[in-house]
Structure 1
Amino acid sequence: MFGDFRYLLVWCCALLTVGAVNVPVLITERRRMTNEEAIQLTSDLFGTDDYSFTVSDERVYVESADRLKHLEYDTVSGGITAADDSEPWSPAAGPPGNLPSEPQAMEMAIEITKRLNILPADGLLPAEIELIIKSDRTSGTYVAHEYSDGAGGYIREDYLIDVSAFFDISIKVPDYPEPLLLTGGGGKFKVAFGSNCRLKEFQALWRPIVGSKPYEIMPQEEADRLYQQSLGALAGTATNITSFLAYYSEPFGTLQKLMYPMYVYEGNAVVGDESIPIRPQATRGGDGTGSSHPGMKQFPKRQALDDAKLFEAASEWLGEPYGLTLAKRNADGFRNGVQDTAPLGVYRYEKSNKDVLESDFVSEADTWADTVDMLFYTGHANRNGWMVAEPGTGAEMFIDYRSFGAGPEVPGDLLGQQDLEWLIIAACGPHQDQHINPSDGNVFDRWRGIFDGLHIMFGYATASVDSSEEGGRFMKYAQEGDTLINAWFRAAKELQTSEVIVSAMWTDDAWDDHLPGYGCVSSDNTLGSQERWIMWTTC
Structure 2
Amino acid sequence: MRDRYTIYRLTPQDSSDERLRQLAGSLFDQNQDYRLDKTADGLTLRHGHRVVELFHASGGVWAADESQLWRPSVKADLPSADEAVLLAHKLSDKHRLLPPLDKPLAWGPPVTGGTWHAQRDLKTGQRQQRQLDVQVVFPLQVDGLPVVGGGGDFSFSFGHQGRLIGFSGNARQATPAFEAQAIPPEKAIEQWRAQCPKFEIQDLMSRPAYYAAPSHLGQDFLYPVHVVQGTIVSGKHRMPMRQVLLPASDFGPPLQMGQPQEIRPRNARAGHRATETSKHAPVAPRRSPASRSPSRPWEAGTSWIGSLGGLAGSQANAQGFINEWAAAGWHIDFNWGNANAFESDWRRNDDTWVDAADFVFYTGHADMNGWMLANPDDGSLSYTEVGGAPGKPGDLWGANDLEWVTIAACGPLQDNLLYPGGGDVLARWDGAFDGLHLLMGYGGITFDNTEEGGRLARYAKGGATLIDAWFRTAREIQPATNGASAPNGPNIYVGAMWVGKAGADPVSDHAWDHGSVSADPSSPSFLACMWTMT
TM-score under structure 1 length normalisation = 0.85
Q: 2:441 aligns with which of 459, 463, 472?
A: 459
Q: Which residue of 2 aligns with 1:530?
A: 525
Q: Which residue of 1 aligns with 2:307?
A: 320
- The 8 Å contact of residues 39 and 52 in structure 1, kept in 2 or not, is answered as no
Residue 506 of structure 1 deviates from its aligned partner by 1.1
Q: How does 1:120-519 map to 2 (within 5 A)?
A: 120-122=99-101, 125=102, 129-150=103-124, 154-172=125-143, 179-230=144-195, 232-234=197-199, 236=200, 238-282=201-245, 288=252, 309-342=296-329, 345-391=330-376, 397-499=379-481, 500-508=492-500, 509-519=505-515
Q: Which residue of 2 aligns with 1:63?
A: 46
Residue 349 of structure 1 deviates from its aligned partner by 2.0
- Structure 1 pair 88–467 and aligned structure 2 pair: CA distance change class (3 A): closer
CA distance in 1, matches of 2:46, 2:38: 12
Residue 89 of structure 1 deviates from its aligned partner by 5.7
Superposed CA deviations along residues 515-535 of structure 1, whole A, max 9, x for unmatched, are 1111111111332x4311111
Read off the aligned partner of 1:79 and give its amino acid letter: G
Q: Which residue of 1 aligns with 2:56?
A: 75
- Structure 1 pair 438–219 and aligned structure 2 pair: CA distance change class (3 A): closer
Residue 76 of structure 1 deviates from its aligned partner by 0.4
CA distance in 1, matches of 2:353, 2:15: 48
Structure 2 unmatched runs, 5+: 255-277, 281-293, 482-491
The SS at the match of 1:418 is coil
- Structure 1 pair 87–428 and aligned structure 2 pair: CA distance change class (3 A): closer
Structure 1 unmatched runs, 5+: 1-18, 173-178, 291-295, 299-306
CA distance in 1, matches of 2:153, 2:420: 28
- The 8 Å contact of residues 327 and 468 in structure 1, kept in 2 or not, is answered as yes
Q: Which residue of 2 aligns with 1:304?
A: none
CA distance in 1, matches of 2:186, 2:52: 45
CA distance in 1, matches of 2:478, 2:70: 23
CA distance in 2, matches of 1:27, 1:404: 50
Matched, 1:51 2:34: yes
Read off the aligned partner of 2:24 and give its amino acid letter: T
C-alpha RMSD of matched pairs (Å): 2.3
Bigger Cα displacement from structure 2, 329-338 vs 212-221: 212-221
CA distance in 2, matches of 1:348, 1:357: 15
Q: Which residue of 1 aligns with 2:287?
A: none
Residue 87 of structure 1 deviates from its aligned partner by 4.0
Q: Which residue of 2 aligns with 1:16?
A: none
Higher relative contact order (CA 8 A, sep 6+): 1
Q: Percent identity?
A: 33
Residue 36 of structure 1 deviates from its aligned partner by 1.5
- Structure 1 pair 33–426 and aligned structure 2 pair: CA distance change class (3 A): closer
- Structure 1 pair 199–20 and aligned structure 2 pair: CA distance change class (3 A): closer
Superposed CA deviations along residues 393-443 of structure 1, whole A, max 9, x for unmatched, are xxx712100101110232221111112111111111100111112212101
TM-score under structure 2 length normalisation = 0.85
Read off the aligned partner of 2:340 and give its amino acid letter: D
Q: Which residue of 1 aligns with 2:266?
A: none
Bigger Cα displacement from structure 2, 211-220 vs 223-232: 223-232
Bigger Cα displacement from structure 2, 437-446 vs 348-357: 348-357
- The 8 Å contact of residues 317 and 450 in structure 2, kept in 1 or not, is answered as yes
- Structure 1 pair 158–487 and aligned structure 2 pair: CA distance change class (3 A): same
Q: How does 1:32-47 map to 2 (within 5 A)?
A: 32-47=14-29
Read off the aligned partner of 1:107 and give its amino acid letter: L
Residue 86 of structure 1 deviates from its aligned partner by 4.5
